Amino acid sequence: MEDRKRYKLVNMNEVKNKMSINGGNKLFIIGIAGASGCGKTYFANSIKNKLEIDGIEIISCDNYYKSYPGGGKAPPTFDWDVPSSLDLDLLAEHLEKLKKGEKINIPKYNFLTSQREGTEKEVDGKQVKIIIVEGLFVLFNDNLRDKFDLKIFTLLDPDICLARRLQRDVAERGKSYKETLEQYQKQVKPSYVNYIEPTKRFADIIISTSEFTDTSKSIDIIDKYVRHELKLNNCNHNLSRSNKKSSKKNSSKKKNKRI
């Protein structure tokens, strides 16, 4: 009987340790990795829209690019497509703070000037239930990777990725078609082969974002899984609260008996 009580106490301590400070519920964090132009941002937004839960935030790894040294705009030959060009440790630190119910300031990055420019937005760990992080190297850094409750890798034909990259970089990042093509051949494609594609072995789910694939089915599966995990976490939280109440009652009964 004594062993059962001891086991129950240890088990409840494990549950408490897994609960974050944000309202007592464990923060659920999803990581989405994949090639440049494969639809990571679109997929992240699709998951958010499907869940329709208050307290969902999407964080892009693009906000965590480091400023180009010297304060000026980076030359076209500068390689942005390597893990060291991003402050992945800062992102991991921010996720850890959110788990503890603390506030973070997501940096704002300007691709036209190659510099960080203040804060993009503030996120309060006490106000969020789900965080979706998307980016090229989301699964590359083990310190960052360990923060995720669900790891997703998105796949898409390289030609379609290139077409999307051309459209985005010319329209949003002030590059010419020639610059974008050269960068893709010399930096983007080798980066995918060397750094990004190998990280799919860490993924819990690998999803094709091709136009020939019905991604809504994948989103439905993720939606059900996340809801199940949130329900389980809430049950554990309620179990922890009821255990506290019963222990208080037992304590008060003991005091009354002494009187």
User: E strands of 21-160, at which residues?
Assistant: 28-34, 56-60, 103-110, 115-124, 130-134, 150-155
Residue 35 in domain:
yes
- Under 8 Å between Cβ of 17 and 100: no
Mean pLDDT for the stretch of residues 92-115: 96
**Weakest mean pLDDT among 36-50, 135-149, 241-255:** 241-255
| Helical axes 2-18 vs 215-258, angle rounded to 10° | 130
Identity of residue 83: P
DSSP assigned state of 12: H
Q: What is the DSSP annotation of 199-254?
A: GGGG-SEEEE--TTS-HHHHHHHHHHHHHHHHHHHHHHHHHHHHHHHHHHHHHHHH
Identity of residue 119: T
Cα separation, 22 vs 36, in Å, equals 33
Residue 235 in domain:
no
User: How do residues 125-145 score in pLDDT, each as one tens digit?
Assistant: 999 999 999 999 999 999 999
User: How do residues 17-38 score in pLDDT, each as one tens digit?
Assistant: 444 344 455 899 999 999 988 8
Identity of residue 246: S
Range of the domain at 199: 17-210
Q: What are phi and psi of 104, to 5 degrees?
A: -135, 155
User: How do residues 85-94 score in pLDDT, each as one tens digit?
Assistant: 999 999 999 9
Cα separation, 147 vs 144, in Å, equals 6
Q: Which CATH number covers residue 110?
A: 3.40.50.300
- Under 8 Å between Cβ of 27 and 129: yes
User: How do residues 201-244 score in pLDDT, each as one tens digit?
Assistant: 999 999 988 777 788 999 999 999 999 998 876 665 454 444 54
Cα separation, 135 vs 208, in Å, equals 16
Residue 202 in domain:
yes
Give the containing element (helix H, strand E) for 38. none
Residue 122 in domain:
yes
User: How do residues 142-196 score in pLDDT, each as one tens digit?
Assistant: 999 999 999 999 998 888 888 887 888 888 777 888 888 888 888 889 999 999 9
| Cα torsion 71, 72, 78, 81: sign | positive
Model pLDDT, residue 16 = 43
Instruction: Give strand pairing partners of 155.
Output: 208
Per the structure, the count of domains in the chain is 1
| Cα torsion 211, 216, 218, 222: sign | positive
